[in-house]
Chains A and B, each alone.
Chain A
Amino acid sequence: MFEAALSRLGRMGSFLWAGWSGLAGLALLAALWQAGHEAYGAFILPSPLETLAAGAAILSDGRAWGVAMLTCIRAVEGFAVSALAGAVSGLAAGYFPATMRLARPLVTVLLGVPPIAWIVLAMIWFGSTDGTVVVTVVVAAAPLVFVGVAEGVMTRDRGLDDMARAFGAGPVQRLITLGLRHVAAHLFPALAVALGMAFKVAVMAELLANVGGIGGELARSRANLDVAAALAWVTIAVAALILVEYGVVHPVRSEFERWRTAARPWGVRR
């Protein structure tokens, strides 16, 4: 028990420690940004510090939190629906090849239509409401989850299925102990991509549908030619995404992927 707690603490420590390299990457981006600022001036590209200051100013105002929350809630709502719908239909398609043959072209169509076209359609159908944003997010993100899960099911090791059958496992037991466990490894990368997509599309839909949120604020900054505020809002949107991804998606995934880490030679574990 103590050992398990200790190993968990160790893994958490190494996860947090890995944050430094992430921070280094962000610092590199900031350096490029600063160089751009110095070359083109504050009007075209405000400096990172200015942007951070603008962001802090925005966030010190209580209303801004509500705006950011609104976008987060819409993105996460759409993400949750896509995750559920994509995972369920992906499982069905993976286990039943006929479904897969029907679904493949549909997925190609869904992924091929640009999100901007969906926004226009959703605006016509739902008007300027939350529904427009959530539907656009679902249409953009669900196929990603679907493909990930279906691939997962199709790449499962049938030898393990046979093994379980030899030990008397029924179809439901095989699905729970083998199928879902294998699919999880494919599901989490797909979820991470879908989550990023959800935030991006939510902001875009808000901007175009004029329904408030971070997208709405971006539209206003553009109208006022306030580049610093626009960049600040972008930064806030990215920060929210990073928070959700590294706070939820990655810890859950690493819990499922412990055996992969164990398989790596010791030198490259981190």
Chain B
Amino acid sequence: MGRQEMSVLSLSGIGHAYFGRTVLDRIDLDVQPGEMVALVGPSGCGKSTLIHLAAGIVEPLRGTVAMACRRHAMVFQESRLLPWATARDNIAYPLRLAGIRAGERRARAEAAARRVAFDAVDLDKYPAELSGGMRQRVAIARALVVDPDFMFFDEPFTALDAALKRRMQDLVIEAARSAHFAALFVTHDLMEAVRIAHRIVVLDSAGKGIAGQRMLPGEPGTREDSDVFAAVQAFLKRDPLFRHIHDVDERRVA
């Protein structure tokens, strides 16, 4: 029970349905402070729905979401930037929602941009003028600017190419280490999960509860590439928990 009280995010008995079709049922999940949890599962198992429920974008039909963090932030699969605002104003958008003065907004947005290595000369550009990677950098800066102690990542790097993806993962690992935020990171890429997380949680392929979880040895960011690769191979070849991870059902989009 003590563990429960400590956790920064606690999902208990979560269930959800769209138009009568159950997509999630009996989900229990706890995330500890400073812990990076990767949520994996085959496509269409409801992981995206689950993170939307946890982030408070959608109200769950059953169960409760308890958050014990000061501020949370989210990075989406698409960058979801305001097309009419410059990169600077996009990064500052959550601060605007929080009612912070323009001068401070500017300074904090610039600081956040530096943390994600976003070039200051591009801060006055509009999203349409930025590349996909730069847009995602802006989206990460927008999340970091509120100084969150919990972050939601909803397959943030799926649309990026391999090299860029790696760089972004390193960025998240580094940001998580320096700001010490906990995170729920949804991904379908096991390699990504093993690189960035402390713990991997596998969602049942039909969304009926959590299928199981695996702790990962060592700290994210300190693992050698060969170890990461070996761990992924071991999971895929020998661990029954990951047997359905690459199943694809294109009719089910959640």
Contact = CB atoms under 8 A, between A and B. Distances in A.
A and B: real partners? yes
Interface of A: 157, 159-160, 162-169, 173, 177-178, 181-182, 185, 256, 258-259, 262-263
Interface of B: 52, 55-57, 72-74, 76, 78, 80, 82-85, 93-94, 96-98, 125-129, 146, 152
Contact of B55 (A160, A166, A178): A166
A256 B152 CA distance: 32
Given A166-B56, A168-B97, A259 B78 contact: no
A181 B127 CA distance: 16
Given A159-B78, A166-B56, A169-B97, A256 B73 contact: no
A167 B97 contact: yes
A240 to B, nearest CB: 31
B96 A177 contact: yes
Given A177-B96, A259-B85, A167 B73 contact: yes
Nearest 7 interchain pairs by C-beta: A263-B128, A166-B74, A259-B126, A163-B80, A167-B94, A262-B126, A259-B84
Contacts of B74: 163, 166-167
Contacts of B52: 162
Contacts of A181: 82, 84
17 contacts: A159-B76, A160-B82, A162-B52, A163-B74, A163-B76, A163-B80, A166-B56, A166-B73, A167-B73, A167-B93, A167-B146, A258-B84, A259-B83, A259-B85, A259-B127, A262-B125, A262-B129
B58 to A, nearest CB: 9
Contact of B57 (A157, A166, A178, A258): A166
Nearest to A264: B128
A122 to B, nearest CB: 39
B93 A177 contact: yes
A158 to B, nearest CB: 10
B84 A160 contact: no
Contacts of A169: 97
Contact of A256 (B56, B84, B94): B84
